[in-house]
Amino acid sequence: MKKSCFVFVLIFSFTTTLLFAAELVPIPTDIKVDAQKVQLGEKLFFDKILSKDKTLSCASCHNLQHNGADTTQYTEGIEGKVGLFNVPTVYNAVYNFRQFWDGRAKNLKEQALNPITNPVEMGNTLPVVLYNLKMSSDYPRLFKAIYKDGITEHNLAEVLAEYENTLITPNSPFDQYLRGDMNVLSSKELEGYRLFKTKGCISCHNGVNIGGNLYNKFGIFKDAKSRELGRYNTTHKELDKYVFKVPSLRNIALTAPYMHDGRAETLEDAVNIMSKYQLGRPMEKDELESIVSFLETLTGELPQSVKDMNASH
């Protein structure tokens, strides 16, 4: 990295630390949605009709009963094809400023149809998906009850996104702390929070999602040897090579493996990688343990619909 760029990174990191030090806010306990659209979106989220060979649903790669993601480095799509990125969690994705690791979708609605048409995920085409939905026994009626024009590409994306809007996990111990419960966190967890701020983690992991609201280069202080180019694939700008959306840390204790390529198997590994490549400062063992303890306080409550699902099994 050139010296001018290096200085800019340091200034940016220090400035954003100051700007966002008080910008960690709790997840709202509810979100306004259209109940009819949510119900239809939920049905579609779990329906394998969306995939080319009818073997996968959105829920196949986003395990809502656990972490909203997967537990493998790379998830298999149709015909055993393997994706290029570690699956990000769908939980709290509504609070991300962009969707996907490379930020190619502006919002959940724009994101919703991408996995359906991705050749290594569901491998379908929108004309085929819409035809299958129109030929089904119940979807024409369900869409017509909401939309005058029935089943369309726009309406399909909208109901899927509306359901995903409800997938928030509020009331984590840290949320309770932010709301004023000064006794909910242990001394070790509080020390981890202090280190999270003073070490500079908060420079990129801030806001309601404790991340998910900016891009950053993976490998600031040292080449992280990423095989994926990140934002470059969308912008084709040299400066965007190895630049990715900073992930949310919500429920991070549940979403291993970590990083866009799933290279870190544990939270300890992930923090060490961030310390080495992003902060440029080594982490002592006790500091590492305290930060991990803090990160474990970011696990929130599952949505009521998922709780009901778990109770019925």
**Domain-ending residue, one of 147, 165, 183:** 165
Of 76, 110, 121, 289, the active-site residue reads 121
Average pLDDT over residues 131-139: 98
Q: What is the pLDDT of residues 207-219, one digit of tens each?
A: 999 999 999 999 9
> What helix, strand, coil percent values describe the chain, rounded to 5?
45, 5, 50
Nearest-angstrom CA–CA distance, 286 and 50: 48
Whether residue 61 is predicted with pLDDT greater than 60 in this model: the reply is yes
Q: What is the mean pLDDT of residues 24-40?
A: 96
Of 113, 90, 85, which Cα lies nearest the Cα of 233?
85
Mean pLDDT of the chain, nearest integer: 92
Do 220 and 291 fall into the same domain? Answer: yes
Tell whether 41 and 158 lie within a shared domain: yes
Tell me the average pLDDT across 291-310: 93
Interatomic CA distance for residues 247 and 49, integer angstroms? 30
**What is the structure's pLDDT at 8?**
38
Q: Is residue 309 assigned to a domain? A: no
Q: 76 with 12, same domain?
A: no
Structural domain span for residue 181? 3-28+169-298
Judge whether residue 15 has pLDDT over 80: no
Residue 92 belongs to some domain of the structure: yes
Q: Which of 108, 131, 165 is the last residue of a domain?
A: 165
State both tokens at 172: 């984590």
Predicted local distance difference test score (pLDDT) of residue 99: 98
- Taking CA atoms, 257 is separated from 37, 51, 71, 260, 286, in Å, by 32, 25, 7, 9, 22
Could you tell me the CATH number of the domain that includes residue 220? 1.10.760.10
pLDDT at 313: 65
The answer to whether residue 113 sits within a structural domain is yes
Question: CA-to-CA distance for 297 and 282, rounded, in angstroms?
Answer: 23
pLDDT for residue 308 is more than 90: no
Q: Of the residues 99, 133, 165, which one is the last residue of a structural domain?
A: 165
119 and 226 inside one domain: no
Q: Give the pLDDT score at 311.
A: 79
Coil vs helix vs strand at 76: strand
Residue 180: pLDDT above 50?
Answer: yes
How many structural domains are present in the chain?
2
User: Letter for the amino acid at 186?
Assistant: S
- Summarised one tens digit per residue, pLDDT across range 229-286 is 999 999 999 999 999 999 999 999 999 999 999 999 999 999 999 999 999 988 999 9
Are residues 230 and 278 both part of a single domain? Answer: yes
Whether 121 sits among the annotated catalytic residues: the reply is: yes
